[in-house]
Amino acid sequence: MTVMELYVGDTWYPNDILTKCITTEKLNCAGSLEFGVTSNFAPILEDKTIITLTDCDETVFRGRVLSTARKTIGEMAVVSEGELSFFNDSMAVGSFRGEIEDVISNLITLHNSRTDTWQHIAEGDLNSSGTEFIVGESGKRVRIMELLQSAVSMEPDGFLFFENGELNYDAISSPRYMNQQKIVFGENLISLRRERRFDDIVTRVYAYGTTQEGEHIKLDNPVDADPDAIARYGIIAKRIDVNADTTAELTQLARSALCTQHSESIEIEAFDRHWIDKSIPRFRPRAVVVKSPPDGFTGTVIIREVRQDWLNPGKNTIKIGTTRKIV
């Protein structure tokens, strides 16, 4: 059984007045909490009120009210956005240079200095690959949320997440933060569907470009894949029309359009065993190991969104859709 508790500010909302309580957690996004109540509406409508959902000692959700809808039968439906959205409340001017852990830390400090206490973000563990980069532009004022998202996008496998009210950052493939619960055939796997495409191979690209001044450029010769790919698949040609200022840039874009591996779409549905055994951590948006010998599939995929019904935990499943390249 779940022992979740919902608080609006310091006011506890018991389960018997809740008609709905659903969280949606998304990778590198604020996420949301949707709930419905039949009484005690006043605290929800107060300004600067923090909504908190806990499960045992874990803070599942922390955020603020985004919208409310009052029904004539005496029910209020509430949508709340997660605290990552607080970064939309502050702005910064100029650029930030350094490793991502330093940039995120600086952005948190700057945000906290420009907002009220209830909007402050607590810093947790921040880790990075050591690559330095720059986000922002000199003299340009932008939301700190935009700078934060730009920083995270610099590392393809980086992800932000909250643990008990603290903002953390790490590689999504980090063993420390992978889902401890696996998806295994015969245990919690409901279905696995694999669709392989055979029409996505491109071994030759004819490239045409348009410069910023509106001039048209093209490559005198097509860009071909490596000889082994052509020997395997033959000549499969494609034309691209792109924005490019030089033939070197156009050549690079043409090479990126080559495709010498088939793609495979994978759709997985699994039951979250946390809801029958509290000792098993619930699924979170991060990497998860999938093992299904009958499907010939063993690998690691990324859960990008988890939606959970806290009043009806027996209905909780996760659905994963991902695409990968295969030889």
The tens digit of pLDDT for each residue in 20-72 reads 999 999 988 999 999 999 999 999 999 999 999 999 888 999 999 999 999 87
Write out the residue range of the structural domain in which residue 101 sits. 90-171
Whether 142 and 213 map to the same domain: the answer is no
Closest to 306 (Cα-Cα) out of 288, 327, 296, 320 = 320
Amino acid at 275: W
Four-CA torsion 224, 226, 228, 234, nearest 10 degrees: -10
Tokens at 203, concatenated: 């071994």
Residue 276 domain-assigned (yes or no):
yes
Q: What pLDDT sits at residue 326? A: 61
The predicted model gives 229-237 an average pLDDT of 90
Residue 177 pLDDT > 60:
yes
pLDDT digits (tens, 9 = 90+) for 280-297: 999 999 999 999 999 999
Whether 60 and 118 map to the same domain: the answer is no
Q: Which of 8-22, 63-77, 255-269, 305-319 has the lowest mean pLDDT?
A: 255-269
Q: What pLDDT sits at residue 245? A: 87
CB atoms within 10 A of CB 103: 27
- The alpha helices in 76-133, defined as continuous H runs, are 100-113
Q: Where residue 138 sits, what CATH number does that domain have? A: 3.55.50
Whether 81 and 130 map to the same domain: the answer is no
Residue 128: φ, ψ to 5°: -150, 175
Residue 29: φ, ψ to 5°: -130, 165
Rounded Cα distance between 272 and 308, Å, is: 10
pTM listed for this prediction:
0.77
Rounded Cα distance between 220 and 115, Å, is: 57
Q: What pLDDT sits at residue 322? A: 78
Whether 40 and 109 map to the same domain: the answer is no
Whether 58 and 110 map to the same domain: the answer is no
Residue 176 domain-assigned (yes or no):
no
Whether 190 and 211 map to the same domain: the answer is no
Residue 220 domain-assigned (yes or no):
yes
Whether 207 and 129 map to the same domain: the answer is no
Whether 187 and 291 map to the same domain: the answer is yes
Whether 290 and 269 map to the same domain: the answer is yes
DSSP readout, 180-226?
Answer: SS-EETTTTEEEEEEEEESS--B-EEEEEEE-TTS-EEE-SS-EE--
Q: What pLDDT sits at residue 147? A: 92
Residue 123 domain-assigned (yes or no):
yes
Residue 293 domain-assigned (yes or no):
yes
Residue 178 domain-assigned (yes or no):
no
pLDDT bucket at 321, cuts 50 / 70 / 90: confident
pLDDT digits (tens, 9 = 90+) for 125-160: 998 778 888 888 888 899 999 999 888 888 878 889
Number of domains in the chain: 4
Closest to 83 (Cα-Cα) out of 98, 68, 61 = 61
Whether 158 and 242 map to the same domain: the answer is no
Place of tokens 């400090």: 109
Residue 177 domain-assigned (yes or no):
no
Whether 187 and 288 map to the same domain: the answer is yes
Whether 123 and 248 map to the same domain: the answer is no
Residue 239 domain-assigned (yes or no):
yes
pLDDT bucket at 324, cuts 50 / 70 / 90: low
Q: What pLDDT sits at residue 327? A: 55
Of the residues 54, 85, 116, which one is the last residue of a structural domain? 85
